[in-house]
Amino acid sequence: MSDPMKPVYVLNGPNLSRLGTREPDVYGAQTFADLAALCRDTGRELGLSVDVRQTDDEAEMLGWLHEAADGRIPVVLNPAAFTHYSYALRDAAAQRTAPLIEVHISNPAAREEFRHTSVVASVATGTIAGFGLRSYVLALQAIAESAE
């Protein structure tokens, strides 16, 4: 019998369900469904069971991070707008018990000044930004290669 695939959460914050229609010059033309399929397919190739979720609700995101911490489940997290101001999200991410990689489709440092600060980065294992949806692929590869 083969080993079960390692679970990974790919958690996405506000407005990411709008991919494909929201500022395609910044976020590209691919949809959230395209992103979810890319993450699941990449996960299968890497031996990961990927659970892709999206919410516009901060409380729901906190619950998912608590669930991941309790289950020692690695997380790929695109906090979206929560990145810049949600100390509650930062505190939930700080409770991680497995790798947590912050991802961004665009490069926040190359955008408006308010996007330059991430309150999550200091508690994440690492941050990958600016590579479009490939940011998620790179994060999943990092998780698959992690020793934890």
Q: What is the pLDDT of residues 81-138, one digit of tens each?
A: 899 889 999 999 999 999 999 999 988 766 667 666 789 999 999 999 999 999 999 9
| Angstrom distance (rounded) from CA 81 to CA 86 | 8
27, 66, 85, 116: the active-site residue: 27
Whole-number mean pLDDT of the chain?
89
* 87 assigned to active site: no
85, 104, 116, 136: the active-site residue: 104
Query: Do residues 7 and 72 make contact, with C-beta atoms less than 8 angstroms apart?
Result: no
Show the CA angle centred on residue 108, arms to residues 66 and 103, nearest 5°.
35
* 136 assigned to active site: no
Query: What is the reported pTM?
Result: 0.90
| Angstrom distance (rounded) from CA 142 to CA 145 | 5
SS3 of residue 135 by DSSP? helix
Q: Which of 89, 93, 109 is nearest to 101 (CA)?
A: 93
Q: What are phi and psi of 54, to 5 degrees?
A: -140, 140
Map out the domains of the chain with their CATH numbers.
6-145 (3.40.50.9100)
